Amino acid sequence: MCLADETGVFLLYSLLQGNSDFLEYVLVRTDLDTLLMPILETLYSASRRTSNQIYMLLIILLILGQDSSFNASIHKMMLPGVSWYKDHLLHQTSLGSLMVIILIRTVRYNLSKLRDVYLHTTCLATLANMAPQRLVSLFYMLSRKYNKYVETRDDKLQTKTISTVDGLVEEMSAELQSYTDFLRIVLEILNVILTYARRRIA
């Protein structure tokens, strides 16, 4: 009820991080939607939240997502509808799928607005815990954006005069570096997942 307030978010984080009994109590509940839906709704309206609040909510999801039974439970729990999700109609969607949708949406928001590497890493780590296959789709989306940005930069450089090239290169290289960092992070997470899976099979 209080997750719209940064103090409420910090209190929830403190309880989950510092009190193992409380964490266990949350994880064994059968009504995980009671806790997760307000968190996901708050992340959905990320543009109206502070970066600190977004980061704390993502850490909370990361803590919860480290438990395999939690991940199994949220993928089994079906939601008849999500009234606050306005992008398109969600009907009979699992709570886990909604969480993946919101996390990917948060990654896109971070790419376009905040460009915070730590926030991005936390988001991707949470996705890796609950839906490794979605990281492949995310990598594909990021690589397409990266390639498109490189093409746009090259086209602009060809049409600019020599005197304005240096300023344009400096301006665009910072944004290109952000995409490079994010792609590297996704690749590192995929590498860890594949390495861990190979060890388990061996």
d(CA 99, CA 75): 9
User: DSSP 3-state assignment of 80?
Assistant: strand
Of residues 157 and 168, more confidence is placed in: 157
Pair of tokens at residue 132: 């490794």
pLDDT in tens, 180-197: 877 887 787 777 667 755
Q: State both tokens at 193.
A: 């997942």
Q: DSSP secondary-structure letter at 47?
A: G
Residues contacting residue 169 through CB under 8 Å, at least 6 positions apart: 157
Selection from 148, 152, 127, 126 nearest residue 138 by Cα: 127
pLDDT-above-90 percentage for the chain: 35
Beta carbons within 10 angstroms of residue 23's beta carbon? 17
pLDDT digits (tens, 9 = 90+) for 103-123: 988 988 887 888 888 888 888
